[in-house]
């Protein structure tokens, strides 16, 4: 995404302005000299300007975070937890004001935008309640004691995605700050405005320099990953970008956590209860227009249930009301950006053109400027179809048949992704035995996509590196120090 010059407002008209005060750097809201356009995906047109940060802005933020790191680290976990809770409460109080901005830049329905803000605050409180104290590995009179001490890494650089701009950013904020680190947060250039609005709330809670929030284009992310003043990068986004981050961060041996793409499969066994399966998958596959890393993106259904499942799922999906998120009756918004819109259109067109493919519902693509695709279910595809093999990240779902469970497990595992999966059966123990054989970081039984702060989350294979959430995720923001003491005299 390219930055515009200072006189850009003259090019696009005076109506296009910035609704935010600027970046949060060292406790001050810094207005930008340059701006770039932010597009409303419901119209396909720019609706606001966002300040674009410079390398000097990043240097200033890194210096402030480094300066404040010792004092922040010296605070107790309880003290840091209390400030995070205060910040979370202010987010909830401001949710009704910030949500319209989130809806305009993202496209999601207004009520879902409000929910994202409030649930983000809830998870911040949960994450900062998880114990992170030191541990005693051994206490033996003959061998001595071994203590495991956990220290903050220093300065964390967090790069957030556009699909849940607030929730996924604030998860990183809570984990970094609670574990005693200071932070530089970069929102996606597609969805920066609501995050900057939230940052203005943080200014009145945390000491200057503890949290810095800076918006910029893709080049800004590259500056962060190579910056010598940043000790860890936590990133949520595409696998391709994650690999670039890993390469860039290696020069300074930064610690990294990468929560990357997924092609989550749902496996519906022949004894599954469709009264449970259909609403569960209708939500997990199409909520947020399918733009969720752990959304259901392909479904394997036992042959005996296939036709009934597809018929019922199509009816459930047809209940969605596709439209501008600012319209009160909308339940499903557009794709967030034109790049993703074009990508999903390509997957859809390729799938429809394949022999045997059948569109059971949906398949319509907006032609009037907005990035809308109706919720779509397609059957009759082979496993080698790009819609099946790759992560579409949109409201287009392939449903495939199987007759042998072992064959279905092998087909699901034949993927470069391994983020999540689900198994559906009336027999939970049977489902568990199947779940254990799926190569995915999380496998749900009779549900899909449950997000819990105390449970570690991350992927296998190309779906990520490390874990977020839970004590394991919090520890990834800390450095382990082993202290070995001699036997007691």
Catalytic residues: 259, 293
Q: Return the exposure string of 61-84: e unless at least 16 CB atoms fall within 10 Å of the residue's CB, then b.
A: bbebbbebbeebbebebeebbebb
Question: What is the token pair recorded at 310?
Answer: 């597809």
CA distance 27 to 22: 12
Cα 290 to Cα 42, 294, 323, 404, distances in angstroms: 16, 9, 15, 28
Backbone angles phi, psi at 298, to 5 degrees: -160, 145
Burial status of residue 447 (CB atoms within 10 A of its CB: 0-12, 13-18, 19 or more): middle
CA distance 242 to 249: 10
Residue 371: name the closest of 410, 399, 414, 340 by CA. Answer: 340
CB of 268 closer than 8 Å to CB of 363: no
Burial status of residue 424 (CB atoms within 10 A of its CB: 0-12, 13-18, 19 or more): buried
**Could you give the 3-state DSSP secondary structure of residue 409?**
helix
Per-residue H/E/C for 320-357: CCECCCCCCCCCECCCCCHHHHHHHHHHHHHHHCCCCC
Return the axis-axis angle of helices 218-226 and 239-249, rounded to nearest 10°. Answer: 40
């Amino acid at each position: 995404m390219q930055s515009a010059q200072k006189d850009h407002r003259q090019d696009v008209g005076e109506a296009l302005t910035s609704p935010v005060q600027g970046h949060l750097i060292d406790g001050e809201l810094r207005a930008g000299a340059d701006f770039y356009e932010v597009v409303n995906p419901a119209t396909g047109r720019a609706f606001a300007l966002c300040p674009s940060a410079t390398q000097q802005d990043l240097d200033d933020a890194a210096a402030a975070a480094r300066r404040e790191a010792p004092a922040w680290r010296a605070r107790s976990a309880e003290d840091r937890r209390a400030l995070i809770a205060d910040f979370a409460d202010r987010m909830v109080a401001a949710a009704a004001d910030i949500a319209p901005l989130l809806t305009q830049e993202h496209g999601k329905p207004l009520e879902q935008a409000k929910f994202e803000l409030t649930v983000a605050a809830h998870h911040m409180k949960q994450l900062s309640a998880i114990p992170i104290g030191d541990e005693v590995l051994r206490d033996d009179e003959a061998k001595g004691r071994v203590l495991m001490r956990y220290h903050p890494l220093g300065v964390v650089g967090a790069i957030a995605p556009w699909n849940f701009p607030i929730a996924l950013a604030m998860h990183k904020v809570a984990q970094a700050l609670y574990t005693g680190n200071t932070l530089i947060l970069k929102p996606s250039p597609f969805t920066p405005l609501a995050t900057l609005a939230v940052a203005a709330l943080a200014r009145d809670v945390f000491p200057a320099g503890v949290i810095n929030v800076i918006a910029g284009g893709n080049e800004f992310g590259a500056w962060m990953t190579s910056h010598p003043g940043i000790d860890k990068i936590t990133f949520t986004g595409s696998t391709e970008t994650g690999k670039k981050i890993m390469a860039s961060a290696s020069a300074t041996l930064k610690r990294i956590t990468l929560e990357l793409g997924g092609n989550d499969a749902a496996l519906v066994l022949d004894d599954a209860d469709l009264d449970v399966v259909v609403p569960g998958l209708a939500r997990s596959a199409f909520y947020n227009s399918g733009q969720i890393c752990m959304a259901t993106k392909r479904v394997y259904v036992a042959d005996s249930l296939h036709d009934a499942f597809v018929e019922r799922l199509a009816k459930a999906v047809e209940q969605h009301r596709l439209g501008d998120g600012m319209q009160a009756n909308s339940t499903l918004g557009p794709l967030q950006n034109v790049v993703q819109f074009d990508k999903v259109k390509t997957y859809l067109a390729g799938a429809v053109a394949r022999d045997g493919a059948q569109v059971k519902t949906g398949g319509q693509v907006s032609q009037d400027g907005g990035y809308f695709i109706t919720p779509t279910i397609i059957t009759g595809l082979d496993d080698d179809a790009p819609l099946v093999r790759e992560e579409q990240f949109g409201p287009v779902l392939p449903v495939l048949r199987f007759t042998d469970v072992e064959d279905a497990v092998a087909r699901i595992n034949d993927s470069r992704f391994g983020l999540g999966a689900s198994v559906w059966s009336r027999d939970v123990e049977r489902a568990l035995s199947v779940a254990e054989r799926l190569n995915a970081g999380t496998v749900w039984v009779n549900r899909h996509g449950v997000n819990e702060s105390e449970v570690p989350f991350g992927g296998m294979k190309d779906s990520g590196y490390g874990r977020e959430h839970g004590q394991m995720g919090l520890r990834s923001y800390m450095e382990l120090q082993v202290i070995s003491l001699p036997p007691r005299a």
